[in-house]
Chain A
Amino acid sequence: QLQLQESGPGLVKPSETLSLTCSVSGGSISRSSYYWGWIRQPPGKGLEWIGGIYYGGSTYYNPSLKSRVTISVDTSKNQFSLKLNSVTAADTAVYYCARLGDTLTGYYYGDYWGQGTLVTVSS
């Protein structure tokens, strides 16, 4: 059974960089057809797709965040990561990592999710 687990600081100061890692177990992140990504949810609000990465390294980001986001993959550790720079209070949210699709099917939805981690931006 595929499992994903987010890790990283729960508190980030304004203007600094939010860094999270998603560790994948029960399957290899190296399978070339899968797409891995990040979604966030501000407290009491809806879901927002941040972006994602294919095994080959191709990335797609939400245009609203593109200038501040970097997603990368480390196949040796079976992990992928999120960096969001110049954070403000508006970036306070629960951040989820997920397997977001399979290029073999052409369907891009989250079938496996991490439990989510709350990141608060505050001084």
Chain B
Amino acid sequence: DIQLTQSPSFLSASVGDRVTITCRASQGISSYLAWYQQKPGKAPKVLIYAASTLQSGVPSRFSGSGSGTEFTLTISSLQPEEFATYYCQQHHSYPLTFGGGTKVEIK
């Protein structure tokens, strides 16, 4: 199985901050990585797929980069509604696997 390690696990930030979350894969996955945002009690919402392709309807302040084993999700200017938990997921091979999550909290 491909393991995904996210860092940090927790992040305190203020509105307007630039936020970067990293996801490392245990083996190369090319660009087959997606990022999700999950709010309490809600289903995950996809933000980015194929490492850097913005899902339709997602604000452009979200961006993704990377390939191979190291990936980043960046929020250029954090908004109040974006305090949530973020997960990466590899879609290179079965079993599909998720990172452990990064909780973004209000500083």
Contact = CB atoms under 8 A, between A and B. Distances in A.
A111 B44 CA distance: 9
Contacts of B1: 63
A113 to B, nearest CB: 4
Contacts of B49: 107, 109, 111
Interface in B76-107: 87, 89, 91, 94-101
Interface residues of A, number: 22
B50, B94, B96, B98 pick with most chain A CB within 10 angstroms:
B96
A88 to B, nearest CB: 20
Interface in B1-44: 1, 32, 34, 36, 42-44
Contacts of B55: 111
Interface of A: 46-49, 60-64, 96, 98, 100-101, 107-111, 113-116
25 contacts: A46-B87, A46-B98, A46-B101, A47-B44, A47-B87, A48-B98, A49-B96, A61-B95, A63-B1, A63-B95, A96-B44, A101-B91, A107-B32, A107-B49, A107-B50, A107-B91, A108-B91, A109-B34, A109-B49, A109-B91, A110-B36, A111-B46, A113-B44, A113-B45, A115-B42
